[in-house]
């Protein structure tokens, strides 16, 4: 899912479906600075049994940390 900064809203809008069916999720996390932290928090509240892996990682301008561009939950 890459909805240009609306990933959190999309997850919350699909909360019932995600909790019920536990689909595999690949979510872009490069749009908002809070995405790499907030997206996993939200997904875990929907179903704590998800395992998480990261896709390609890149530095953010002006930040010393490396952040994932995509996080996958299975």
What total of structural domains would you count in the chain? 1
- Tens of pLDDT along 21-59? 999 999 999 889 899 999 999 999 999 999 999 988 988
According to the model, what pLDDT value does residue 64 have?
Answer: 80
Instruction: Work out the pLDDT band at 4, boundaries 50, 70, 90.
Output: very high
Say which DSSP state 60 is in. P
pTM above 0.75, yes or no: yes
Residue 1 located in a structural domain: no
Residue 59 located in a structural domain: yes
CATH code at position 62: 3.40.50.150
Q: Counting beta carbons within 10 angstroms of the beta carbon of residue 49, is it exposed (0 to 12), middle (13 to 18) or buried (19 or more)?
A: exposed
Q: From CA 4, how far away is CA 23, in angstroms rounded?
A: 21
Q: Which two tokens stand for residue 51?
A: 């395992």
């Amino acid at each position: 899912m890459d909805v240009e900064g609306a990933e959190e809203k999309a997850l919350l809008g699909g909360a019932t479906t995600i909790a019920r069916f536990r689909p595999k999720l690949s979510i872009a996390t490069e749009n908002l600075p809070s995405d790499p932290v907030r997206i996993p928090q939200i997904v875990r509240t929907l179903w704590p049994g998800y395992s998480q892996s990261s896709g390609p990682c890149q530095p953010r301008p002006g930040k010393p940390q490396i952040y994932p561009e995509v996080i996958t939950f299975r």
